[in-house]
Structure 1
Amino acid sequence: MYRINICIILSFVFGLSSASAQKKIKWLTWEEAMEKSETEQKKVVVDIYTQWCGWCKKMDKSTFMDEFIVEYVNENFYPVKFDAEFKEPITFKGKEYKYIKKGRRGFHELAVELTKGKLSFPTIVFLDEEYQVLQPIPGFQDNERFELIVTYFSGDHFKFTPWRRYIRNYSRDNYAYPAGNKH
């Protein structure tokens, strides 16, 4: 009986830990995000990365695994992971963007467009519901900084509140959820 109870407890504990470990951002392809936005409009957050980028991998393992960020991004955005060296053409807003070979590597024209010509990795780009670039944010962002950024854009605070005032007054209770969507 004692052994059975221990087994039940252990399986419950391991079940909980593996369930929480499985929470991840539900990254979409560019096409999937555009398709989903036809039925329900949301802002889009694009993680522009490369396979060789160490800071991109660090964000994947830390910032993008944070429980709050995972839940918040999945709920409020269409999250897109976009390899800046993606080789296939993409049509966006009636224009075709292609991979351009340059030296041993190359780049995708859409990555250049989204970053306003300033490619660096990682870069997080926020688009509004009409696919207008709100802001490209270059460089590694830790959990705390990314939480500020993602809530600033999702709640439309950027329209009315200067960034410095927002970060000075930020708390999850006041700013983290768009109006009518508070947990």
Structure 2
Amino acid sequence: MKYLLSVFIFFMCFAIHAQEINWMSMNEALEAQKKEPKKIFMDVYTDWCGPCKLLDKKTFHNKDVVSYVNKHYYAVKFNAEGTEEIRYNNFTYTNPNYNPNRKGRNSQHFFANALKVTGYPSMVFFDEKGNLIAPVVGFKTPQQLEIYLKMINNNDYKKLTTADAWKKYEKSFVSTFSN
């Protein structure tokens, strides 16, 4: 009995730590929205970006972030310097200046440019119809990301039309995500 309990605890711990965000491509998320409308949460990263790797390791593996994103969003992982072809708003975005022989930084994908991504990492939010809501630039801890995830999911962003309104919202926000 003690052995079975130990095995059960091991597998439960493994399952908790093995939780991951259900990443998909932007094309897949837009297609999924047609069947079941849901907002899109996009991680815009590059291969050379240190803070992007930290965000992936520290924030996107936090159990509360994983659970919240998987429940409320279609999660998209998008390489801003990659070659993925994205069909968005009746236009196909590509990266025609991509150089496979270049080490480090490469040309920015036209979709990242269209989203006005100015730094990495960036997290970009879209509504249930695929319309752009807003980008959030820079590394965020689970607790720092939580306010954006909940504000956008709950449509509170629609009421925050001034800097003062945002400051009030931010000041009154109580985080429930663990470290």
Q: Please, what TM-score do these two structures have when normalized by structure 1?
A: 0.85
- Counterpart Cα distance in 1 of 2:111 and 2:171: 34
Q: Of the candidates 71, 85, 91, which is equivalent to residue 75 of structure 1?
A: 71
Spell out structure 1 runs of 4+ moving beyond 6 A. none
Q: How many residues align?
A: 168
Amino acid at match of 2:172: N
Question: What's the counterpart of residue 180 of structure 1?
Answer: none
User: C-alpha deviations, 1:51-88, integer Å up to 9, x for none?
Assistant: 12111111111111111111111111111000112213
Which of 82-91 and 25-34 deviates more?
82-91
Choose which of 153, 156, 173 in structure 2 pairs with 1:170: 173
Moved more, 46-55 or 101-110: 101-110
SS in 1 for 2:16: helix
Alignment of 1:12-161 (within 5 A): 12-101=8-97, 104=102, 105-114=106-115, 116=116, 118-161=117-160
Structure 1 gaps, min length 5: 177-183
Is the 8 Å Cα contact of residues 100 and 107 (structure 1) preserved in structure 2? Answer: no
Note the aligned Cα RMSD (angstroms). 1.8
**Partner letter of residue 18 of structure 2?**
Q
Q: Which has the higher contact order (CA 8 A, sep 6+)?
A: 2
CA contact (8 A) 2:83 2:98 kept: no
Q: Distance in 1 between matches of 2:29 and 2:53?
A: 22
Instruction: For 1:62 and 1:69, locate their aligned partners in 2 and report how far apart those are by CA, in whole Å.
Output: 10
Q: TM-score, normalised by structure 2?
A: 0.86
Q: CA deviation at 1:172?
A: 5.7
Listed one character per residue, the Cα deviations across residues 87-130 of structure 1 (whole Å, up to 9, x for unaligned) are 1322211011110426732221001112x2x4311000011122
Q: Distance in 2 between matches of 1:67 and 1:88?
A: 29
Structure 2: state its 5+ residue gaps: none
Using the aligned pairs only, state the percent identity. Answer: 32
